[in-house]
Amino acid sequence: MTSERAKRFPLGLADLERKPRTSTAAPRAGSDERARARTNAAPREAGLLRADMPASHGLEKMGAPRMGAPNVALTGALALTSERVRERMVERLRTNGVLDARVLHAMSVVPRHMFVDPGLAAQAYEDAALPIGHQQTISKPSVVARMLELAAAGRELQRVLEIGTGCGYQAAVLSRMAGDVYSIERIKPLYERAKINLRPLRVPNIRLHYGDGRLGLPAAAPFDAIVIAAAGLDVPQALLEQLAIGGRLVAPVGAQSGQNQVLTLVERVSNSQWRESRLDRVFFVPLKSGVI
């Protein structure tokens, strides 16, 4: 039978500070030190953003892992190695022209290796797109940084919409830059995988939604920024309408075959006017309608 405490999601502060059970057995030599090391190592990859953000609009709120969920955070020397590798990745991004301190900081603390298949973890911090199944990919770190820097443009972001959750990595990075992140995924297994990937990080301000990204989320609009992680021949009008005045939308636009796709910035300047800028050549998976 599930206890009342196990039903609560996310866990409250009292759950995180439970005292260990007492035991009459004498501890083995070195056990206290090993226990302390495990306790201190576990939170290194956790704790993305605030824990007091309320859920809204009927979307699934990401929080602490359910009791009994596997702890996938790296510990010890391997965790330190991943931190150093992330620092080198961020240094490359800075060298290549990414200047927004919020983007660089967010990418320095979000563990990208936790969002790729274990067999590809060694490549997680290379500037490469990696397969995540279902003919989808996790974007290059340089592309993620470029899109988020364009979307933010030095502004304070309260509410952001992401189209194409994928494995959840970009949503995790966005969660370090915005008050609330709403993310839509149309492929059910990827939606479920993103929930699993995000849960150990205790990200309280991401709302995942399984649905058709081309329709957006009118109930949660308007958005300060919209980031589309798939390419269409144009930007859906529904998404343009959900952009706040002064908001920015970043999307790859072009043929779904990948030829001549261009990273495009759309700024809403009034109720009925948008300004478009065509920027970099990119290669993204196609933006499709419906759910599967």
Per-residue pLDDT tens for 36-56? 444 444 333 333 433 333 333
Whole-number average pLDDT of the chain: 80
What's the pLDDT band for 156 if we cut at 50, 70, 90? very high
Domain with 119 in it: 71-281
**Residue range 9-32, pLDDT digits in tens:** 333 333 333 333 334 444 444 444
Residue 42 resides in a domain? no
In a domain, 202, yes or no: yes
CATH of the domain at 154: 3.40.50.150
Instruction: Let me know if residue 50 belongs to a domain.
Output: no
- Is the whole-model pTM more than 0.85? no
Residue 265 lies inside a defined structural domain of this protein: yes
Residue 191: φ, ψ to 5°: -55, -45
CB atoms inside a 10 Å sphere around CB 230? 19
Question: Under a CB-based contact definition with an 8 Å cutoff, are residues 110 and 102 in contact?
Answer: no
Asked whether residue 238 is domain-assigned, the answer is: yes
For residue 242, pLDDT over 50 is answered with yes
Q: Nearest to residue 197, comparing CAs of 176, 172, 178, 173?
A: 172
CB–CB of 64/9 below 8 Å?
Answer: yes
Confidence (pLDDT) at 30: 46
**19 in any annotated domain:** no
The distance of Cα 280 from the centroid of its chain, to the nearest Å, equals 23
Whether residue 139 lies in the annotated active site: yes
Catalytic residue (choose from 139, 257, 277, 289): 139
9-23, 83-97, 109-123, 277-291: range with lowest mean pLDDT: 9-23
Q: Model confidence at 260, in pLDDT bands (50, 70, 90)? A: confident
- Provide the pLDDT for residue 82: 78
Q: CA nearest 64: which of 73, 76, 77, 56?
A: 73
Q: Which residue has the higher pLDDT, 187 or 63?
A: 187
pLDDT at 71: 42
Domain count, the chain: 1
Domain contains 17 = no
